[in-house]
Amino acid sequence: MRFPLALTTKIAAYIIGQKLRGTKKFATVLQLEPLHTCNLTCTGCGRIREYSTSLKDMMSLEDCLGAAEECNAPMISICGGEPLIYPHIEALVQGLLEQKRIIYICTNAMFMRKKMREWMASQLSIQPKFVEDKIGELIGAGLITD
């Protein structure tokens, strides 16, 4: 699978920079688990047993952003239970983007439509042209229908 040139360039520059500084060990990806709660109970999922004592625990937004800052990895994988359940997911993503991170969200996508609708609605009054263009792109790609 090919990666976008911008992503490849950013990761390569980070690795080269670490090597030139003589850093022996460094992270390229931070696996951030803001919560362990999941909306599914899949048969055979070890996460339910593994996290049975911490299903109600949740990291604060400040702790999540602080962990990313401290780790300094260029890429952040937001996972855990179901990250779209995390009440501060939008602010977390925005904060990580402001830190210039590459972000992956590992989700079962059950809440994706709802989250996208909420996000589009929040942006409509701020950037109506952007939202219209984005909807056009999604329709053109066959990802949504009129």
Give per-residue pLDDT as tens, 121-145: 888 888 888 888 888 888 888 877 7
Give per-residue pLDDT as tens, 53-107: 777 889 999 999 999 999 999 999 999 889 999 999 999 999 999 999 999 999 9
Calculate mean pLDDT across residues 4-33: 94
Q: pLDDT category, 24, cuts 50, 70, 90?
A: very high
Residue type, 67: A
* DSSP secondary structure string for all residues of 60-113: -HHHHHHHHHHH--SEEEE-SS-GGGSTTHHHHHHHHHHTT-EEEE----TTHH
3-class state of residue 74 by DSSP:
coil
Global pTM value: 0.80
What is the residue extent of each domain of the chain? 5-108, 111-146
Residue with tokens 């855990």: 80
Our CA angle for 77, 82, 86, nearest 5°, is 90
